[in-house]
Amino acid sequence: MLNETACLALRLEGPLQSWGFESQYNRRNTGLLPTKSAILGMCCAALGIPRGSDDEKALLEQCVDLSLLTVAIPRYLKYGEKFTELSVRRITDYHTVQNTKTASGGIKNTHLTYRQYLCDASFGCVLSGNATLVNRLAKDERGQGLENPVWGIWLGRKACIPTAPILAGVFPDEAGALSKLLGVHPLDALTHQREVERFEDGSDSLPDQPLCFAAPDGIRRFAPRRIVLKEAQ
Protein backbone atom coordinates (compact mmCIF):
# COMPACT_ATOMS: atom_id res chain seq x y z
CA MET A 1 0.00 0.00 0.00
CA LEU A 2 1.22 3.47 -0.88
CA ASN A 3 0.30 4.85 2.55
CA GLU A 4 2.25 2.27 4.54
CA THR A 5 4.77 3.79 6.93
CA ALA A 6 7.80 2.39 8.70
CA CYS A 7 10.47 3.58 11.12
CA LEU A 8 14.22 3.31 10.59
CA ALA A 9 16.09 2.97 13.90
CA LEU A 10 19.70 4.21 13.96
CA ARG A 11 22.29 3.86 16.70
CA LEU A 12 25.02 6.54 16.70
CA GLU A 13 27.80 5.67 19.12
CA GLY A 14 31.50 6.54 19.08
CA PRO A 15 34.25 8.25 21.10
CA LEU A 16 34.15 11.23 18.72
CA GLN A 17 31.21 12.72 16.83
CA SER A 18 30.79 16.00 14.98
CA TRP A 19 27.47 17.32 13.69
CA GLY A 20 28.06 20.48 11.67
CA PHE A 21 26.01 23.38 12.99
CA GLU A 22 26.65 27.07 12.25
CA SER A 23 29.88 25.79 10.78
CA GLN A 24 31.62 28.28 8.50
CA TYR A 25 35.08 28.76 7.04
CA ASN A 26 37.80 28.30 9.66
CA ARG A 27 35.46 27.46 12.58
CA ARG A 28 33.70 24.09 12.23
CA ASN A 29 31.29 23.84 15.13
CA THR A 30 29.25 20.84 16.21
CA GLY A 31 25.70 20.77 17.48
CA LEU A 32 24.78 18.77 20.56
CA LEU A 33 22.46 16.49 18.57
CA PRO A 34 22.86 14.87 15.13
CA THR A 35 21.53 16.89 12.19
CA LYS A 36 19.13 15.57 9.58
CA SER A 37 21.57 16.55 6.83
CA ALA A 38 24.29 14.37 8.37
CA ILE A 39 21.97 11.39 8.74
CA LEU A 40 20.72 11.63 5.15
CA GLY A 41 24.32 12.08 4.02
CA MET A 42 25.15 8.76 5.68
CA CYS A 43 22.22 7.17 3.87
CA CYS A 44 23.45 8.47 0.50
CA ALA A 45 26.95 7.13 1.18
CA ALA A 46 25.58 3.76 2.28
CA LEU A 47 23.65 3.50 -1.00
CA GLY A 48 26.66 4.59 -3.06
CA ILE A 49 24.96 7.71 -4.43
CA PRO A 50 27.51 10.31 -5.72
CA ARG A 51 27.34 13.88 -4.46
CA GLY A 52 25.57 16.28 -6.79
CA SER A 53 24.12 13.48 -8.94
CA ASP A 54 20.57 13.22 -10.24
CA ASP A 55 20.11 10.16 -8.03
CA GLU A 56 21.06 12.23 -4.99
CA LYS A 57 18.61 14.97 -5.92
CA ALA A 58 15.79 12.46 -6.39
CA LEU A 59 16.48 10.72 -3.07
CA LEU A 60 16.74 13.96 -1.08
CA GLU A 61 13.45 15.17 -2.55
CA GLN A 62 11.77 12.01 -1.26
CA CYS A 63 13.44 12.31 2.15
CA VAL A 64 11.87 15.73 2.78
CA ASP A 65 8.76 13.85 3.93
CA LEU A 66 10.65 11.71 6.44
CA SER A 67 10.38 12.97 10.01
CA LEU A 68 13.30 12.67 12.42
CA LEU A 69 13.33 11.98 16.14
CA THR A 70 16.73 12.20 17.85
CA VAL A 71 17.36 11.07 21.43
CA ALA A 72 20.44 11.64 23.61
CA ILE A 73 21.17 8.32 25.35
CA PRO A 74 23.26 8.35 28.56
CA ARG A 75 26.35 6.14 28.76
CA TYR A 76 27.80 4.65 31.96
CA LEU A 77 31.11 3.36 33.28
CA LYS A 78 31.27 0.76 36.02
CA TYR A 79 33.62 1.31 38.97
CA GLY A 80 33.40 -1.66 41.29
CA GLU A 81 29.72 -2.07 42.06
CA LYS A 82 28.77 1.48 41.03
CA PHE A 83 27.87 2.96 37.65
CA THR A 84 28.87 6.52 36.79
CA GLU A 85 27.28 8.42 33.91
CA LEU A 86 29.76 9.72 31.35
CA SER A 87 29.56 13.46 30.76
CA VAL A 88 29.35 14.50 27.11
CA ARG A 89 32.08 17.04 26.38
CA ARG A 90 32.62 19.35 23.44
CA ILE A 91 36.30 19.75 22.53
CA THR A 92 38.08 21.87 19.92
CA ASP A 93 40.87 20.54 17.73
CA TYR A 94 43.33 23.07 16.34
CA HIS A 95 44.43 22.57 12.71
CA THR A 96 46.85 24.20 10.31
CA VAL A 97 46.22 23.70 6.60
CA GLN A 98 48.80 24.52 3.95
CA ASN A 99 48.44 25.83 0.40
CA THR A 100 44.85 27.06 0.59
CA LYS A 101 43.43 29.62 -1.84
CA THR A 102 42.77 33.22 -0.80
CA ALA A 103 39.77 35.30 -1.89
CA SER A 104 41.95 36.97 -4.54
CA GLY A 105 42.93 33.60 -6.01
CA GLY A 106 46.41 33.43 -4.53
CA ILE A 107 47.89 30.72 -2.32
CA LYS A 108 48.14 31.08 1.44
CA ASN A 109 51.00 29.19 3.06
CA THR A 110 49.24 28.39 6.33
CA HIS A 111 45.56 28.59 7.25
CA LEU A 112 44.27 28.11 10.80
CA THR A 113 41.07 26.16 11.48
CA TYR A 114 39.23 25.09 14.63
CA ARG A 115 37.10 21.94 14.58
CA GLN A 116 34.75 20.86 17.35
CA TYR A 117 33.89 17.31 18.39
CA LEU A 118 31.57 15.67 20.91
CA CYS A 119 33.21 13.16 23.23
CA ASP A 120 31.45 10.14 24.79
CA ALA A 121 28.07 10.83 23.18
CA SER A 122 25.44 8.27 22.20
CA PHE A 123 22.27 8.90 20.21
CA GLY A 124 19.26 7.01 18.98
CA CYS A 125 17.54 8.30 15.83
CA VAL A 126 14.25 7.31 14.25
CA LEU A 127 13.42 8.25 10.64
CA SER A 128 9.71 7.75 10.02
CA GLY A 129 7.78 7.83 6.76
CA ASN A 130 7.05 5.97 3.55
CA ALA A 131 7.77 2.28 4.11
CA THR A 132 9.25 1.70 0.64
CA LEU A 133 11.71 4.55 1.09
CA VAL A 134 12.61 3.59 4.66
CA ASN A 135 13.29 -0.01 3.64
CA ARG A 136 15.40 1.17 0.71
CA LEU A 137 17.63 3.19 3.05
CA ALA A 138 18.18 0.09 5.15
CA LYS A 139 18.67 -2.28 2.21
CA ASP A 140 17.88 -1.70 -1.46
CA GLU A 141 17.24 -4.22 -4.24
CA ARG A 142 21.01 -4.74 -4.62
CA GLY A 143 21.35 -5.62 -0.95
CA GLN A 144 23.14 -2.32 -0.25
CA GLY A 145 22.32 0.44 2.20
CA LEU A 146 22.86 0.99 5.91
CA GLU A 147 22.86 -2.78 6.43
CA ASN A 148 25.68 -3.22 3.89
CA PRO A 149 27.18 0.21 3.04
CA VAL A 150 28.77 0.85 -0.37
CA TRP A 151 31.03 3.57 1.07
CA GLY A 152 32.21 4.21 4.61
CA ILE A 153 29.80 5.98 6.93
CA TRP A 154 31.01 8.23 9.73
CA LEU A 155 29.56 10.16 12.66
CA GLY A 156 29.88 13.53 10.99
CA ARG A 157 33.54 13.39 9.88
CA LYS A 158 35.88 10.66 8.65
CA ALA A 159 37.78 10.79 11.96
CA CYS A 160 34.56 9.86 13.80
CA ILE A 161 34.23 6.10 13.40
CA PRO A 162 31.14 4.36 14.86
CA THR A 163 31.81 1.73 17.51
CA ALA A 164 28.54 -0.14 16.91
CA PRO A 165 26.47 -1.00 13.81
CA ILE A 166 24.48 2.09 12.85
CA LEU A 167 21.41 0.22 11.62
CA ALA A 168 19.33 -1.03 14.55
CA GLY A 169 16.45 -2.23 12.39
CA VAL A 170 13.25 -1.28 10.58
CA PHE A 171 10.03 -1.28 12.60
CA PRO A 172 6.34 -0.78 11.80
CA ASP A 173 5.97 1.98 14.39
CA GLU A 174 7.95 4.40 16.54
CA ALA A 175 7.28 2.48 19.75
CA GLY A 176 9.08 -0.58 18.40
CA ALA A 177 12.05 1.47 17.20
CA LEU A 178 12.38 3.26 20.56
CA SER A 179 12.13 0.00 22.47
CA LYS A 180 15.10 -1.29 20.48
CA LEU A 181 17.16 1.89 20.94
CA LEU A 182 16.28 2.92 24.50
CA GLY A 183 15.55 -0.35 26.25
CA VAL A 184 13.99 0.40 29.62
CA HIS A 185 14.47 4.20 29.37
CA PRO A 186 11.19 6.07 28.71
CA LEU A 187 11.47 8.75 26.02
CA ASP A 188 10.39 11.59 28.33
CA ALA A 189 13.25 10.76 30.72
CA LEU A 190 15.80 11.63 28.01
CA THR A 191 16.58 14.79 26.08
CA HIS A 192 15.08 14.47 22.61
CA GLN A 193 14.36 16.54 19.53
CA ARG A 194 11.35 15.85 17.32
CA GLU A 195 10.56 17.16 13.84
CA VAL A 196 7.03 18.59 13.60
CA GLU A 197 4.78 19.37 10.64
CA ARG A 198 3.07 22.54 11.86
CA PHE A 199 5.06 25.67 12.64
CA GLU A 200 3.09 26.39 15.80
CA ASP A 201 3.98 22.97 17.22
CA GLY A 202 7.70 23.71 17.11
CA SER A 203 10.07 25.67 19.31
CA ASP A 204 12.85 26.32 16.78
CA SER A 205 13.80 26.00 13.10
CA LEU A 206 16.99 24.33 11.90
CA PRO A 207 18.54 24.83 8.42
CA ASP A 208 19.51 21.17 8.03
CA GLN A 209 17.06 19.67 5.53
CA PRO A 210 19.48 18.87 2.67
CA LEU A 211 18.53 19.77 -0.90
CA CYS A 212 21.93 19.19 -2.49
CA PHE A 213 25.32 18.12 -1.10
CA ALA A 214 27.30 19.36 -4.13
CA ALA A 215 25.68 21.90 -6.46
CA PRO A 216 27.46 22.84 -9.72
CA ASP A 217 28.61 26.08 -8.07
CA GLY A 218 30.15 24.10 -5.19
CA ILE A 219 27.61 25.31 -2.64
CA ARG A 220 25.61 22.90 -0.51
CA ARG A 221 21.96 23.83 -0.15
CA PHE A 222 19.59 23.27 2.75
CA ALA A 223 16.01 24.12 3.70
CA PRO A 224 14.70 24.81 7.21
CA ARG A 225 12.67 22.30 9.20
CA ARG A 226 10.64 22.85 12.34
CA ILE A 227 11.56 20.99 15.55
CA VAL A 228 10.64 20.87 19.22
CA LEU A 229 13.28 20.13 21.86
CA LYS A 230 12.38 18.52 25.18
CA GLU A 231 14.91 18.27 27.98
CA ALA A 232 15.27 15.16 30.11
CA GLN A 233 12.83 15.02 33.03
CATH number at residue 61: 3.30.70.2660
Domain count, the chain: 1
Q: If you average pLDDT over residues 114-143, what whole number do you get?
A: 95
Find the range with the poorest average confidence among 35-49, 107-121, 135-149, 160-174.
107-121
CA distances from 72 to 46, 47, 125 (A): 23, 26, 9
The verdict on residue 223 lying in a domain is: yes
Q: What percentage of the chain carries pLDDT values higher than 90?
A: 64
Beta bridge partners of 204: 227
**SS3 category, 7:** strand
The verdict on residue 100 lying in a domain is: no
Higher pLDDT, 215 or 230: 230
Domain around 127: 5-16+33-74+121-230
The verdict on residue 85 lying in a domain is: no
Residue 210 φ/ψ, nearest 5 degrees = -70, 135
Confidence at 110, pLDDT banded by 50, 70, 90:
confident
Give me the pLDDT at residue 1, please: 43
Higher pLDDT, 138 or 212: 138
Give me the pLDDT at residue 109, please: 73
The verdict on residue 116 lying in a domain is: no
Count CA within 13 A, CB hemisphere, residue 221. Answer: 12
pTM (2 d.p.) = 0.88
The verdict on residue 112 lying in a domain is: no
Find the range with the poorest average confidence among 93-97, 145-149, 166-170, 220-224.
93-97
Higher pLDDT, 84 or 209: 209
The verdict on residue 98 lying in a domain is: no
Question: How many whole angstroms separate alpha carbon 181 and alpha carbon 170?
Answer: 12
By CB atoms closer than 10 A (0-12, 13-18, 19+), residue 167 is buried
The verdict on residue 25 lying in a domain is: no
The verdict on residue 63 lying in a domain is: yes
